[in-house]
Structure 1
């Protein structure tokens, strides 16, 4: 395989991974620093969250909702800039769950909405 082709394949792999691969259906990913907000919607799930920073930590708070009767759950996966992660699920059409997580030692987080 040529060096150019390897580079293209590597770049495509990175784009696919950054685009929101998750268990189940791929979702929307948002990597952000404070302050920021997002309100993603995918087939089967909707969410809204905000990031705020204070005293060397980032707080990610919001909600997610399962919007389909398909036996799957809406899932938010949050990875702090310090490598720590948390997840929250909402299962059952119309079920909405709140979440509020704080990550010490960072001012950024990657938040992903998916179906699992």
Structure 2
């Protein structure tokens, strides 16, 4: 019985170590994108790509798709905190795409930029 106990203890130790490693890897992957100067998530995207950025009190989803020599980008932004601050999705060159209209609202957007395969988007408070 003694060899079985030793093998069982070794197996349990290996499982515990593997579980710790897995949890650490998932925790690192779940970190939000670094905040910019205005507390936003800057996402630079070449198509095709999908992003799900978050900021305190807001979240968004968008997709970039290449078509006919340009980029189609579409998605939504949602205000998740009753703090009287709206949440915006904007291009990094400040087109002014979409803004929520209060806590619990979700606003959609759908745009196209010709002659490129790149769009820089930002999720921020506004």
- 1:3-50 Cα offsets, whole Å, 9 max, x none, are xxxxxxxxxxxxxxx95233xxx1111101010000011101100000
- Is 2:59 aligned against 1:43? no
- Number of residue pairs aligned between Structure 1 and Structure 2: 93
What's the C-alpha RMSD, in Å, of the aligned pairs? 1.8
Task: Choose from 13, 22, 36 the match for 1:20.
Answer: 36
* Alpha-carbon distance in structure 1 between the residues aligned to 2:94 and 2:87: 21
Q: What secondary structure is seen at the aligned counterpart in 1 of 2:91?
A: strand
Aligned counterparts, 1:12-91, within 5 A: 19-22=35-38, 26-79=39-92, 85-91=95-101
Long gaps (5+) in structure 2: 1-33
State the 4+ residue runs in structure 1 displaced beyond 4 angstroms.
none
Higher strand content, 1 or 2: 1
TM-score calculated relative to the size of structure 2 = 0.68
**How much has 1:87 moved relative to structure 2?**
1.9
**How much has 1:84 moved relative to structure 2?**
7.9
- Is 2:107 aligned against 1:94? no
* Alpha-carbon distance in structure 1 between the residues aligned to 2:35 and 2:103: 25
Task: Kindly indicate whether the alpha-carbon contact (under 8 Å) linking 1:58 and 1:109 is maintained by their aligned counterparts in 2.
Answer: yes
* Alpha-carbon distance in structure 2 between the residues aligned to 1:59 and 1:29: 18
